[in-house]
Chains A and B, each alone.
Chain A
Amino acid sequence: MDYQVILVENNRLMLERLSSVIRGTSGFSLAARYQQAGDALGQSAMFKPNIILLDIDEKGNLGLVPEFASAFPGAAILCISSHWDAKESDQIAQAGAKGYLVKPFSSEELTEAVQTFSKSGMAQGSEVLAFFSPKGKSGKTTLIANLAMSLAARSGEPVGIIDADLQFGDMAVFFNLEPKSTIVEATRDVKFLSPITLNPYFMAVPEAENIRVLCGTKKPEFAEMVEIAPFEDLVRMAQSLFRYVLIDLPPGFNPISVASAELADTTYVVAMVGGGFEVLHMKRALDVFKAWPDYEQRVKTIFTRVSPCTEKERELLEQELGYPVSSIIPNEYLLVSAAANSGRMAVDVQPDTPLSKNINRLSKDIMGRRIQWGAP
């Protein structure tokens, strides 16, 4: 059966325009339309709607979202607005709306919006996790790719990866993707985008339907084209699409890694054991993050290629570092490199290895933390 759509739009011309789009979209029927939200609230029940498109540019309509939500529990409320606004988007998600659509929209955008948001709704309380490493070769791309697989499988919620290692991002190689669009195009276009139109810039991962990846630049010189302000907008917008947004950062402190860490709910400082000076580098990096008053909550540390990967070893690293070590990841070089060479993930290929177990434990921690925060 077609989706039964209620359209609420104050502007008479826009009302006509959107009506004809809805009528022309296969799978959608325009059940009723109103210029006043109050009319829609009082009269729509007659039509048993399953989608309500509510214009929130009209003053006062945003405040009515909770009333719509309780009056029509079987309907998805999608707010429509002439522009996308990160703050507003957060508010409407909290108020109980499922999604957000920029008007005027096309049939494709309407269909895409309903498909995207009907799965999970607009991600509420979406978490941004940034992965910082003092130096390169920290094992963090391996960690992020596997963690994303684990988070997506265990939570059943959408996970987005942003490869912000602008010059030498490896995420596309790890997932064996051939990106049609990258972070360069996404940041270039972001001011014209909404979550729905941003979504296709992320590549789907064939092996994991809950994961989408925004790949890094194709050539190092394109890195310069990624500006910080649009990048920040992009991350905020991605929060409407994904319950978890994982950002892979270039090594060291640079404008993009600093901006990401500022935005992130949690910044993981990741280093690989083996060079001899990794604890020293991690200390130096932590000293910078200590400028934040709440750094103990926001900054976590992970060591990779820890051998032997035992609790005792974790405690030793913790002592040496003088800061809690959240997770240690064992050395499974051959497994990881064989998996990466074939575009698959170790947690997927061999779920029973110590590597998979430790990554699953980390994803459980991340999910557990969320539930705790959600509690009143």
Chain B
Amino acid sequence: MEEQGRRGNVITVFSTASAVGKTLVAINMAAELARLGYRVCLVDLDLQFGDVCNYLHLVPERTIADAQQAAASNAEAFDAMQFLDVYKCDEISFSVMAAPLRIDEAYNMSASAVQHILQRLQFRFDFVVADTTSAFSEMNLMIMDMSTIITFLGIVDFIPTIKNMKIGCDTIRSLGYENGKIRLVLNRSNSKTKIDLEDVENILGEPFYHVLPNDFGAAWDATMAGVPLVRNADTALARDLRALVARYTNLEVADESSQNNGMSWFKRIFN
């Protein structure tokens, strides 16, 4: 029988240009939500070459491929929670559903099976954060349909990237989602380029919802150390990532007291 009850948010981090920092942003969103006290599961939907576990220094014992197999062989007994790893760092703790270990497993994953798994996770978590690939694949369209919010991540480096961002934006808009569902986020706003932010916003036809500063050094250090940036608010990038999550959770003012208030308010909704 289908499970009934409250289903958590799904936040998808998507882009149409590659290497824009999807994984970094997805991990830090998950970490920040967890830091604020939410139950969070990060799902790596870059099935073939996912980097979530690489970034977090996790060696997963079970993956989404195992979950698909278990659900297929015995749907009644299937428990998605058994296919999660837990990431812990100081007070931050969240669950991770890892990408398949083998490429052939990844190649054979179906969008409907993944959808089924994610729906199960929605009953257990306040937030399911999904990292994706840069394509309008069946898998990505499925997760976008399921999503509460789509974080459409872009960078401004050179013309082909902007062309793909524009095409991506237009295509997403053609899917007929409500305006508030898609949030344009610009990563690395100060990277060396001669292209103007305003020009890009004109091309895209809307301003960026949020802008993250370029701090390759901080991002690199965090990746190498296997820790989320938002653990400390000591870099501008970390502070802006925190601020982005605060906007998602409607905690516009990010000082400690209002965060706590907001949290209890939010907890009421979920518990």
**Interface positions of A (Cβ within 8 A of B):** 134-137, 141, 167-168, 170, 173-174, 219-221, 223, 250-253, 272, 275-277, 280-281, 284-285, 287-288, 334, 337, 340-341
Contacts and interface: CB of A to CB of B under 8 A. Distances in A.
A137 B18 CA distance: 5
B51 interface: yes
5 contacts: A168-B167, A220-B171, A221-B171, A251-B133, A276-B223
B94 to A, nearest CB: 21
Q: Which 9 A-B pairs have the closest CB atoms?
A: A136-B18, A137-B19, A137-B18, A170-B160, A337-B158, A168-B164, A220-B136, A252-B48, A134-B49
A340 B48 contact: no
Contacts of A136: 17-19, 133-134
A287 B103 contact: yes
Contact of A288 (B51, B103, B167): B103
Contacts of B136: 167, 220-221, 223
A254 B97 CA distance: 22
Contact of A170 (B48, B163, B192): B163
Given A135-B49, A136-B17, A136-B19, 19 more contacts: A134-B48, A134-B49, A135-B46, A141-B160, A167-B16, A167-B135, A219-B167, A220-B168, A221-B171, A251-B133, A251-B134, A251-B135, A252-B49, A276-B220, A281-B49, A284-B103, A285-B49, A288-B104, A340-B159
B164 A253 contact: no
A219 B171 contact: yes
Nearest to B47: A252
B265 interface: no
A278 to B, nearest CB: 10
Given A134-B48, A167-B135, A337-B158, A275 B16 contact: no
Contacts of A288: 103-104
Contact of B107 (A174, A253, A276, A281): A253
Contacts of A223: 136
Contacts of B160: 141, 170, 173-174, 340
A136 B137 CA distance: 14
Contacts of A276: 54, 220, 223-224
B169 to A, nearest CB: 11
